[in-house]
A and B are shown apart, each in its own frame.
Chain A
């Protein structure tokens, strides 16, 4: 299935958001996630199913002012 992750189209075998976080090699506790523009809290990632064309954001702490 093809999804858009952080603005880039990628191919993924992950069915859910938590599987995608793991597939991309992220530590589940050090990222925050959104699906189609809506925040998905950590405990709800497993139930957040991906579909073709889904827009996913996986965000990390970064420099800021």
Chain B
């Protein structure tokens, strides 16, 4: 449950960097994503077409504060987004580092505290830091979105053990891997580890065939989730024969 909303698709899709509005529409449809992320910007040439796509897609909108580097910028952007999209949901990004685009944990926490206090339902883009996660929850966040790897890098889950710890540490909090996913196998792994959803953009938008890649991610996310629910076997260091020895012929 994401702030009381149950989603049947656990893939959330970004809407940037597609080669054309048509391809974006096809990718949204193929992904089966119920949640798509958008930004607020000075209107460019394709602004009207983009609004039409959002309307036609009919998906739940998760506006972001991408590009914001300060509390004030992020909070103001969130206010503007709430009015424009009519949703309390906000993907809160407060960027702290130009090369890694990792969040500024101090500004993130302060902005989260302000926005939660104003009734926003905050989806904070964070790291796998457990203490920061706890502080964000104390601030009122009911979802955490740790990065898999730097935004747009396609490196997948760069700190798998850290992300496992995070999953174990926050059993009751919906956790979404946001950023860094490059391949469906990485998304499947996140879901197998018990993550509740995966949010990605570049891996689909920059694929040779974005709609086909969106479908591949949808399948991977569904498979990973089904595997987690089915209960994965424990890992072993040594082999353990699966075929019984009992009844084997003496052929030596």
A residues in contact (CB < 8 Å) with B: 6-7, 26, 30-34, 37-39, 41-42, 57-65
Contacts and interface: CB of A to CB of B under 8 A. Distances in A.
Contacts of A33: 80
Interface residues of B, number: 33
Interface stretch (B40-48, B126-134, B232-240): B40-48
A64 B80 contact: no
B40 A32 contact: yes
Contacts of B84: 30-32, 59-61
B100 interface: no
A63 B66 contact: no
Interface string B26-54: 00000000000111111110010011001
B25 to A, nearest CB: 12
Given A31-B84, A42-B83, A62 B50 contact: yes
A59 B51 CA distance: 13
Contacts of A62: 38-41, 43-44, 47, 50
A34 B51 contact: no
13 contacts: A31-B43, A32-B40, A33-B80, A60-B43, A61-B39, A61-B84, A62-B50, A63-B18, A63-B24, A63-B39, A63-B50, A64-B39, A65-B151
A55 to B, nearest CB: 13
A9 B72 CA distance: 24
A38 B72 CA distance: 9
B186 interface: no
Given A62-B43, A64-B40, 16 more contacts: A37-B76, A39-B76, A41-B79, A42-B83, A60-B42, A62-B38, A62-B40, A62-B41, A63-B50, A64-B41, A64-B63, A64-B66, A65-B16, A65-B17, A65-B37, A65-B152
Which of B17, B43, B79, B81: most chain A CB closer than 10 A? B43
